[in-house]
Amino acid sequence: MQAGTLSKFLKNGAIWGFIVLELIFFSVAGEFLSVSDKAFMDADNMLLLFKQSAPIGIIAMGMTIVMINGNIDLSVGATYAICAVVLLDSMTWPMFAGLGDGVIFVGWGLALLTGLVLGALNGLIVWKTGVDAFIVTLGSMLGYRGLVFMYNGEQPTSHLNWTLVDFAEAQFLGLHTPTWFLLIVTVAIWFLMNRTVHGRNAYAIGNNREAAVNAGIRVGPHMMINFMIIGFLAALSAIVFYSESGSVNPNDGELYELWVITAVVLGGTKLTGGAGSIISTFGGVVAIQLLRKGLAHIGADTSTVNLVIGLILIAVLFLDRQLNVKGREELKV
């Protein structure tokens, strides 16, 4: 095996190796430390793990393509909150009262539309003004959060529709509804990035924007489409979560952007753009959720989870750089 192949294999497989390590560690440590007598790798526990990863995971898929494209979106948490408010509030509007349970589709449609529009607004500003996506979405993170508050003040927005709750809690072929959403989104985004012109162009733009421009790729529309996709997915994530919980606080979704970016970076996507894989992001999402669940399983509290995830993020960055140093030196020659 050549050295290059080995380091490539290490890089692509790293996240899965990490997941296996986590599983072994928490299973063994759980035998000694856990207060519960249930095994960590219990089937129900693992199914629950996928279900709980869904809200972050769905947004992480969108973040991966935005980051591959060379941008970043800090406003996803606020977008998520607005879409949740729209979803729950629109189902109570009197004009839809005659629809019965059909109101669910109205709520979903409006929430997804809201996500698309907010994403498009971010994308349009990045495209037309040329301001860095970090600053644009930092601003809209504040702005969109302000819109959430302006919508309903500091009160929570609540509405439970039992048909919807039943749907969100249902299991199909053993998997929960949110898990299905996560899987479908993962497959769809994988297809988009690996089998379509848009995906290939997104990689090309992130890798070398000037070369992409010279090759005749229209950079702006591609960036805007990616921002619309992440807005749409933030809305979908809100739908998955709030269909079941039925109540949203104006502060909900805060720090989501950080969790999402952590998952994406753990999956190996580069902040500089041009590289990243949807499947590895899926691994990153599972790894984080596994860590949270595992630490809880062995009796550690949330403070340890924060500490460990932060340090792992830095360690991954360091290892990734060590693995890449060789390749970079070859390029310089």
Partner 1 sequence: MSELTKKGIGGFLARQGILVAFALFIIGFSLANARFLDPDNIMGVVRSSAILGVMALGVTFVVISGNLDLSVGSMMSFSTIVVLDLHDKIGPTMAIPAMFAMTLALGAFIGFLVGYLKLNSLIVTLGMLSAIHGLTLTYSGGKNMDIADKEGTWFSVFGQGDALGIPVPILIFVLLAALLGIALAKTPFGRKVYAVGGNGTAATFSGIRRARVVFSCYLMSAFCVATAGLIQASRSMGSQNTVGQGLELEVLAAVILGGASLLGGSGTIFKTVIGVLILGFIQNGLLLVGLEFYVQFVVTWIIIILAVWLDIAAKRGKLWSPIA
Would you say 178 or 268 has its CB closer to partner 1? 268
- Are the C-beta atoms of residues 242 and 86 closer than 8 Å to each other? no
Token pair recorded at residue 27:
């299973």
Among 36, 155, 196, 306, binds partner 1 (CB under 8 A): 306
Q: Which stretch binds partner 1 (CB under 8 A): 18-26, 62-70, 127-135, 273-281?
A: 127-135
- Which residues have C-beta within 8 Å of that of residue 204, sequence separation ≥ 6? 211, 212, 215, 217, 274
Give Rg (Cα) of the chain. 21
Q: Does 302 bind partner 1 (CB under 8 A)?
A: yes
Q: Does 127 bind partner 1 (CB under 8 A)?
A: yes
Q: Encode 18-32: b = buried (16+ Cβ within 10 Å), e = exposed.
A: bbeebeeebeebbee
Q: Does 131 bind partner 1 (CB under 8 A)?
A: yes
Among 307, 324, 326, 327, binds partner 1 (CB under 8 A): 307
Q: Does 275 bind partner 1 (CB under 8 A)?
A: no
Among 14, 265, 285, 291, binds partner 1 (CB under 8 A): 265
Phi and psi angles of residue 71, each rounded to the nearest 5 degrees, phi first: -115, -175
User: Of 11-30, which residues contact partner 1 (CB under 8 A)?
Assistant: none
Would you say 82 or 240 has its CB closer to partner 1? 82
Q: Does 84 bind partner 1 (CB under 8 A)?
A: no
Q: Does 142 bind partner 1 (CB under 8 A)?
A: yes
**For the window 86-115, what string marks contact with partner 1 as x by the rule CB under 8 A?**
------------------------------
Please tell me the distance from the alpha carbon of residue 289 to that of residue 26, in angstroms, as a whole number: 13
Q: What region, left, alpha or beta, does residue 131 occupy, with left being phi > 0 and alpha being psi -120 to 50 degrees?
A: beta
Among 58, 136, 204, 239, binds partner 1 (CB under 8 A): 136
Please tell me the distance from the alpha carbon of residue 308 to that of residue 299, in angstroms, as a whole number: 14
Side chain identity at 160, as an amino acid letter?
Answer: L
Q: How far is CA 163 from CA 44, 100, 160, 174, in A?
A: 24, 10, 9, 20
Q: Does 215 bind partner 1 (CB under 8 A)?
A: no
Per CB under 8 A, residues contacting partner 1 are 74, 125, 127-132, 134-136, 138-147, 149-150, 153, 213, 218-220, 223, 254, 258, 261-262, 265, 271, 301-314, 317-318, 321
